[in-house]
Chain A
Amino acid sequence: MIGRPWYSNYAKVILLVILAFMLAYLLPVKEVWYGRQAYNNLFTLEDDSLFVPLLRSTLFAFITSTCIVTFALILSLLLKGVTLASSHALLLSFLLFPILAGNVSTSFTFKLVLVYFPNAFQNNLTTFFTTGLIEAWQFGSLFIYVFWLNQQVIEENRFQFAKAAGFTLFETIRDILLPAQKGLYLLLYIFCFLTCFYEEAKFGFIFKSSRGNGTEPIGQWLQRLFDSSSYVNPNFAFRVICVAALIILAGAVLGLVVIVSIKFLLFGRLLRTRLAFSFVRPTQNYSPILAWLLVLTVLTPVVITLCSKLVVWHVNVKPMLTPLLLTLAAALLATGLALLYSVAARMVWRKMLSGLNNKSIWFIGILLLLLLIPPLVILLVGFKWMALIAYNSPVVVHVFWMISQVILSFPVLAVFAIAAHFRVRNSTINFCAVHATRSLEKIRDIFWGALRMDYLFLLILAFSTIWNEATINRVFSDTIPSFAVELKKVISGRGTNYTTGIQFLFISFTLSFLNIAIWNKIIRSIQKKGSKNEKIPSL
């Protein structure tokens, strides 16, 4: 056995303590214990029990995620003809636009777009279908891009071997492309499922979902329960919500475990199948045309919104400067911590985190468990923690804001970093261990050198996640203006002013395009290195 570094055991303990802290921070165990008598009450709300919205949200998440992630994978396969070195690689970056714009901006954009399509929400079936399409626009485009990026690291000599060995198109996909995407497919599926499960912004803002018209998702049901319990007192309401959230969390975990296990098996079966489908290998490269079509699909709602007669081309960015800088700082911190954690985890648990297997999926699942906690609980816990700090000190409030954002964005960033580190071979780590390479050198040579593009991509995603975050920002919005909170203020309620809302949308779009421009600059630098015949760092 290769010698383990001296800090290995300490690192394991620290990593587990961080996990435990994250769980303890976001799981109000005491409240669940005190509110335990509410268990029975949740099952005796007659027609208004939590089962109907829970089932509804689970089904919506299952169907939507399956469709989105599967189609994204298929479309990414069809983009095989676009390589990182080609000019169309820069075009494909626009697929990142929806995720960079954020949830509130997306909801408002489609609120304006769907004015022209009133049939999109005639009844609850059309409502769910349309919401699914919007989710596909927002997340599907990201998944297509991530799958496509992941394809770029498959060694070219494998395809050359396949060609030389006379593989059919189906065999090439089955034996070379799909195995490389299996882990990512399952990870993205889990992420998409969790996001769709707690989808509220689109249901609530665009479609005004309700129990009465059969569209109420579980998050909205929870909010209603909280609102009516608040009339007793806020502490009582918090306990009731914590108990309900625990049941919802258990239900969602069960659902996710069953669904992911089935998908794991099915994917494995597909990879092992000896069936031969004869797909005709296209003689022309249609990938660039598909790339253009996808980008046009992504940008069409943006164009419709900007062409709306409400557009007023005047933007006051001054109030957003401070949150912008804070977001950048928080993104750097969150990304740095997520990377340190995932690097340490990769070095310590070498076998488990060498790829997506039965053990690593549990590890990743525990990290993502935090995403299963209802946003309402996170909000209320945030208020509880705020009670411990000095409201009047701006420095203290800023620090706590940063800590909160880092904690909230940590699971997703850490999971994507862990997935990127699957490409780091154990043999490389063991080689460095044998030669007693210093830790900083290991990080520089094994991780940073090979994966810095992934890390920069992660930083851009971290920035977008924190900028568009709409839960914990509500807690701090009195002191730290938040883009998502300010936008929400002018697109719903008594202060509705769509003209001001579109100005905010303009800021959101501008930032998204700026992020894409930065990312494209990074890709261009990679392309230049490739043209000089230098080794392109793997993605």
Chain B
Amino acid sequence: MNTFKSLLTVLIVSVLYLSCSDAGSTSTSSEPATISIIGENSSTLNAMMAMKAEYEKKDSTVRLNYLPSDFKDALEKSNQDFSQGKGAYDVVLQYNFTLSPSVRNNYVYRISELTNTISQQDKQFEAQIFPALWQETGYYYINDLNPSAGNQMISYPYLGISMVLMYNKKLFEDPVNKSNYQAKFGKSLTVPTTWEDYYNVAAFFTNPAKKTYGVCIEGEDGAMLVAEWTNYLYGFNGKYLDKELGWQSAENTRLLINTPEALKALTYYKSLKPFNAGGYATVEQSAQLDIMLMGNTAMAIVWTDMLYSKLKSDKGFNPDFGFTTIPGSKSIVCGGAYFINKHSRQPEKAAQFVVDQLQPQNQIKLAKLGYCSPLKSTYADPEVNQLPYSEALYKSLDRGGMKLEAGPDAQIITEKISTYIQKVWFDKMSPADALNEAQLEITTARSKLYKDLKANVQ
């Protein structure tokens, strides 16, 4: 009985405490309006959250409620909210592959519908957005059932990221390494600018006895493996589909998986296996950087938005690593857009927030906190330029040329390609067989997808 009374007392106290706790509020007319922003927990969102107080001071009628979430949670919660029409999230920060379903199902505003009252001066940043980035992340078909009708602007990019070549300066600047490389290859040891040099440098630095390696490749199944693979595919002039932009895709768009270019790329990719550090299949973007930070791997192709949090400490940036564009003449251009929910209760305020975030002076402040800006002007700032990856990122976003899949078939292509690349890596299949199987499987799956799309128009 005493135990029961104790437990009952605890229960009553808990209920009293909880009923007094503030777990959210409904704003009345005198209280600020809350704009809820959901996105992936990342250094990007952390940088934006650091500027929250400044914005709320500027606009006292608004309170920002950031909801950093795990990637899958952010995606599923926002999708569920869109389809249920509850308007729990006003602004959704998502990557380019959500463009297609969000626009096609009429879940989000075209931002131009909400910025009519905003002055042209405040929209001058538009001229500074990297054109290729904007096209990839913020535009979509006017009518996806009739692609020839043209494209329309949906929203502004909230992020501009790419993959750059990270290299270990100590290894490259070591006089012994320089001398040995010169002797072996007849040329200076420099950070590679061609894929042939990339292979040679990777081979040169690999010495399993000394536990040094040439490269560290992300092999975790899914989007990250495919993103890194895309660098090699485009580097050998291959592509996934016969189209110009990542989100473009229709039933009759030609699939280009089992081409000679893709075969060369996959054969080359597999040839890097002896030089690879880490367990491949268990290495994702964070683990890849952790391996690089151990200091015995020469190079890795890394995401720029991971670098600030991994390399910055109280003492400044880790000086042991340098960054440059990946070999070849093309780079991935990737990011996401500000999606304003069609069921948002304050869409105009949400749009004002978005426009404010994109003001050049705010973009500079964000960039200094690790944010990868979609504006060219940001990278001209001296302090932003001091970030070790800044120049490489700018050049990558400027040259572009590579597309990550972002159409309705993006997930299908990503998961099938990832599966078959892993099979090749683990010697379960030859590159030629893998590409043929992938082509067949993706063709079947795409055909079914487009049938389902037609049958389930909302």
Could you tell me which residues of chain A, from 248 to 292, have a CB within 8 Å of some CB in chain B? none
Give, as a whole number of angstroms, the nearest-CB distance from A104 to chain B: 11
A322 touches B415 (CB 8 A): no
The reply on A46 being an interface residue by CB < 8 A is yes
A231-B410, A233-B458, A495-B41 known; A392 vs B18 contact (CB < 8 Å): no
**Complex-state Cα separation, A108 to B82, whole angstroms:** 32
Give, as a whole number of angstroms, the nearest-CB distance from A88 to chain B: 25
**Complex-state Cα separation, A456 to B4, whole angstroms:** 10
Task: Flag the segment in B71-79, B173-181, B238-246, B254-262 that touches A.
Answer: B71-79
The reply on B312 being an interface residue by CB < 8 A is no
The reply on B333 being an interface residue by CB < 8 A is no
**Complex-state Cα separation, A211 to B136, whole angstroms:** 29
The reply on B48 being an interface residue by CB < 8 A is no
B286 touches A211 (CB 8 A): no
**Complex-state Cα separation, A496 to B309, whole angstroms:** 9
The reply on B420 being an interface residue by CB < 8 A is yes
The reply on B412 being an interface residue by CB < 8 A is yes
Contacting residue for B423 out of A121, A212, A490, CB 8 A: A212
Interface hub of B46, B68, B88, B306 (most chain A Cβ within 10 A):
B88
**Complex-state Cα separation, A394 to B17, whole angstroms:** 13
**Complex-state Cα separation, A325 to B441, whole angstroms:** 50
A328-B10, A395-B19 known; A494 vs B285 contact (CB < 8 Å): yes
B281 touches A47 (CB 8 A): no
The reply on B284 being an interface residue by CB < 8 A is yes
Contacting residue for B43 out of A228, A379, A494, CB 8 A: A494
Residue of B nearest to A496 (CB): B286
Q: How large is the interface on A (under 10, 10 to 19, 20 to 34, 35 or more residues)?
A: 35 or more
Could you tell me which residues of chain A, from 381 to 400, have a CB within 8 Å of some CB in chain B? 383-384, 386-387, 391-395, 397-398
Give, as a whole number of angstroms, the nearest-CB distance from A507 to chain B: 18
**Complex-state Cα separation, A183 to B279, whole angstroms:** 44
B79 touches A329 (CB 8 A): no
The reply on B25 being an interface residue by CB < 8 A is yes
**Complex-state Cα separation, A456 to B3, whole angstroms:** 10
The reply on B208 being an interface residue by CB < 8 A is no
A494 touches B101 (CB 8 A): no
Could you tell me which residues of chain B, from 435 to 458, have a CB within 8 Å of some CB in chain A? 437, 440-441, 444-445, 448-449, 452-453, 456, 458
- B411-423 CB mask vs A (1 if < 8 Å, else 0) is 1100100111111
- B378-416 CB mask vs A (1 if < 8 Å, else 0) is 000000000000000000000000000000111110010
The reply on B90 being an interface residue by CB < 8 A is no
The reply on B348 being an interface residue by CB < 8 A is no
A231-B409, A235-B83 known; A48 vs B105 contact (CB < 8 Å): no
Residue of B nearest to A455 (CB): B3
Chain A hits for B43, CB < 8 A: 494-495
Could you tell me which residues of chain B, from 25 to 51, have a CB within 8 Å of some CB in chain A? 25-26, 36, 38, 40-46
B84 touches A228 (CB 8 A): no
Could you tell me which residues of chain A, from 134 to 172, have a CB within 8 Å of some CB in chain B? none
A325 touches B18 (CB 8 A): yes
Give, as a whole number of angstroms, the nearest-CB distance from B66 to chain A: 11
Give, as a whole number of angstroms, the nearest-CB distance from B415 to chain A: 6
B68 touches A495 (CB 8 A): yes
Give, as a whole number of angstroms, the nearest-CB distance from A47 to chain B: 7
The reply on A341 being an interface residue by CB < 8 A is no
A489 touches B426 (CB 8 A): no
**Complex-state Cα separation, A395 to B444, whole angstroms:** 49
Residue of B nearest to A325 (CB): B14
Chain A hits for B3, CB < 8 A: 452, 456
A322 touches B105 (CB 8 A): no
The reply on A510 being an interface residue by CB < 8 A is no
The reply on A467 being an interface residue by CB < 8 A is no
Contacting residue for A392 out of B19, B24, B69, B444, CB 8 A: B24
Residue of B nearest to A474 (CB): B73
Residue of B nearest to A207 (CB): B282
A228 touches B412 (CB 8 A): yes
Residue of A nearest to B287 (CB): A496
- A391-432 CB mask vs B (1 if < 8 Å, else 0) is 111110110000000000000000000000000000000000
Chain B hits for A397, CB < 8 A: 23-24
Chain A hits for B422, CB < 8 A: 210-213
Contacting residue for A234 out of B41, B79, B421, CB 8 A: B79
A393-B26, A494-B41 known; A121 vs B15 contact (CB < 8 Å): no
A485 touches B7 (CB 8 A): no
Could you tell me which residues of chain A, from 174 to 223, have a CB within 8 Å of some CB in chain B? 206-214
A230-B101, A236-B452 known; A493 vs B25 contact (CB < 8 Å): no
Residue of B nearest to A124 (CB): B426
Give, as a whole number of angstroms, the nearest-CB distance from A487 to chain B: 10
The reply on A83 being an interface residue by CB < 8 A is no
Chain A hits for B188, CB < 8 A: none
Chain B hits for A328, CB < 8 A: 10-11, 14
**Complex-state Cα separation, A183 to B408, whole angstroms:** 51
A232 touches B452 (CB 8 A): yes
The reply on B61 being an interface residue by CB < 8 A is no
B282 touches A208 (CB 8 A): yes
The reply on A36 being an interface residue by CB < 8 A is no
The reply on A50 being an interface residue by CB < 8 A is no
Chain A hits for B101, CB < 8 A: 230-233
B24 touches A232 (CB 8 A): no
Could you tell me which residues of chain A, from 61 to 82, have a CB within 8 Å of some CB in chain B? none
**Complex-state Cα separation, A118 to B10, whole angstroms:** 46
Chain B hits for A45, CB < 8 A: 445
The reply on A224 being an interface residue by CB < 8 A is yes
Chain B hits for A384, CB < 8 A: 84
The reply on B60 being an interface residue by CB < 8 A is no
The reply on B116 being an interface residue by CB < 8 A is no
Chain A hits for B24, CB < 8 A: 391-394, 397, 479
Chain A hits for B105, CB < 8 A: 233
B282 touches A329 (CB 8 A): no
**Complex-state Cα separation, A41 to B79, whole angstroms:** 24
B22 touches A394 (CB 8 A): yes
Interface hub of A213, A395, A485 (most chain B Cβ within 10 A):
A213
Contacting residue for A228 out of B67, B279, B415, B428, CB 8 A: B415
B77 touches A478 (CB 8 A): yes
- B340-371 CB mask vs A (1 if < 8 Å, else 0) is 00000000000000000000000000000000
Chain B hits for A211, CB < 8 A: 221, 415, 419, 422
Chain A hits for B44, CB < 8 A: 494
- Chain A to chain B contacts (Cβ below 8 Å), 26 pairs: A46-B441, A213-B422, A214-B428, A227-B411, A227-B415, A231-B449, A233-B101, A234-B80, A235-B458, A322-B21, A322-B23, A329-B11, A332-B11, A392-B24, A392-B26, A394-B23, A477-B69, A494-B42, A494-B43, A494-B44, A494-B71, A494-B285, A495-B40, A495-B42, A495-B43, A495-B68
10 closest A-B pairs (Cβ-Cβ)? A212-B422, A210-B221, A495-B41, A394-B23, A494-B42, A496-B286, A234-B83, A387-B84, A228-B411, A383-B80
